[in-house]
Amino acid sequence: MEMNDICNLCPRNCGANRAAGQRGYCKETWEIRLARAALHLWEKPCISGSGGSGTVFFTGCSLGCVYCQNRTVSSGQTGKAVSLERLVDIFFELKEQGAHNINLVTPDHYLPQTAQALRQAKDKGLALPVVYNCSGYEKPESLRLLDGLVQIYLPDFKYWDDQLGLKYSRVPDYRLHASRALAEMVRQTGFPVFDRDGMMKQGVIVRRLVLPEHTEDSKNVIRYLYETYGSRIYISIMNQYTPVGSHPDMPELNRKLTEEEYDQVVDYAISLGVENGFIQEGETAEESFIPAFTTEGV
């Protein structure tokens, strides 16, 4: 996809001429904007390790969930414009800080530029694993631009019931696109690979954030993932849903997940036979898990 074309990178196919300055559904033009670039210690242990994941938060989002914890970033309110060359430099700065990997958060609406930056960084000697951290609402043909450039995919699988996707993220077809995108991610990376320290070097970890009152939807997602991919992927069952703002018409979103709800989903995964997985223990739905977006490191 050339940068002078109308944008059809994501399944929304909004058709905005972002190269000419129009903003797509993602709230962004083609100009790369970043909200934060710093070491991040709150990913999975096999991603953050002891030194942190070199995390680059891109501004904007093509999904726009009503419960988004990073709303100032996803809505385009926070961000600083950077050149392609600056993005490459940021990768190396994170490496110098001791990052275990380069972790790209919501980069899908900048995918052609991201692929170009990764190629340039690789040509300059960057050998760290690259993590593609996304909502799961992707096109396989867009993801193919990253084939050979990304070693670890970290997608969400947010909804099984498309009515929930429509209600919370204004998409009528989330399951279809997330399923197709995941198949492409697994095709590119193959089976999970870890080093002797337990750090992931290759593979796919699918995140499932359990939403209040929607344990059955979580169970359906986990069953699909396990029956389809078995040991080819890891499944991360997350309890860290954090109420942000007020949703008078969606009261279930105004509270945290209960321990009983989360345990019900984890127990179900165990009963299926899921072994390649991550669970969260204790109180994780805290503000401290939402970083400050002050364009640090940008």
| Rounded Cα gap, residues 185 and 154, in angstroms | 9
Query: Quick one: pLDDT at residue 4?
Result: 53
Whether 12 is covered by a domain: the verdict is: no
Tokens (6 digits) for 139: 């096109």
| Rounded Cα gap, residues 93 and 5, in angstroms | 32
Whether 72 is covered by a domain: the verdict is: yes
Whether 38 is covered by a domain: the verdict is: yes
Query: Quick one: pLDDT at residue 282?
Result: 66
Number of domains within the chain? 1
Query: Quick one: pLDDT at residue 73?
Result: 84
Q: What are phi and psi of 193, to 5 degrees?
A: -130, 130
Q: Are 263 and 2 in contact (CB under 8 A)?
A: no
Q: Provide the residue type at 128 as one letter.
A: L
Q: Are 143 and 95 in contact (CB under 8 A)?
A: no
CATH label of the domain that carries residue 31: 3.20.20.70
Domain hosting 37: range is 18-289
CA angle 121, 25, 65 (to 5 degrees): 90
Angle at which helices 162-169 and 174-189 cross, to 10°: 100
| Rounded Cα gap, residues 279 and 51, in angstroms | 21
Whether 8 is covered by a domain: the verdict is: no
Query: Quick one: pLDDT at residue 284?
Result: 52
Whether 96 is covered by a domain: the verdict is: yes
Q: What are phi and psi of 244, to 5 degrees?
A: -130, 125
SS3 readout for 240-296: CCCCCCCCCCCHHHHCCCCHHHHHHHHHHHHHHCCCCEEECCCCCCCHHHCCCCCCC
What string of pLDDT tens digits covers the 298 residues of the chain?
455 579 999 999 999 999 999 999 999 999 999 999 999 998 899 999 999 999 999 999 999 999 998 888 888 888 999 999 999 999 999 999 999 999 999 999 999 999 999 999 999 999 999 999 999 999 999 999 999 999 999 999 999 999 999 999 999 999 999 999 999 999 999 999 999 999 999 999 999 999 999 999 999 999 999 999 999 999 999 999 999 888 999 999 999 999 999 999 999 999 999 999 999 986 654 444 567 777 888 8
Whether 298 is covered by a domain: the verdict is: no
To the nearest 5 percent, what fractions of the chain are helix, strand and coil? 35, 15, 45
Query: Quick one: pLDDT at residue 285?
Result: 45
Q: Provide the residue type at 297 as one letter.
A: G
Whether 274 is covered by a domain: the verdict is: yes
Whether 120 is covered by a domain: the verdict is: yes
Q: What is the pTM of this model?
A: 0.95
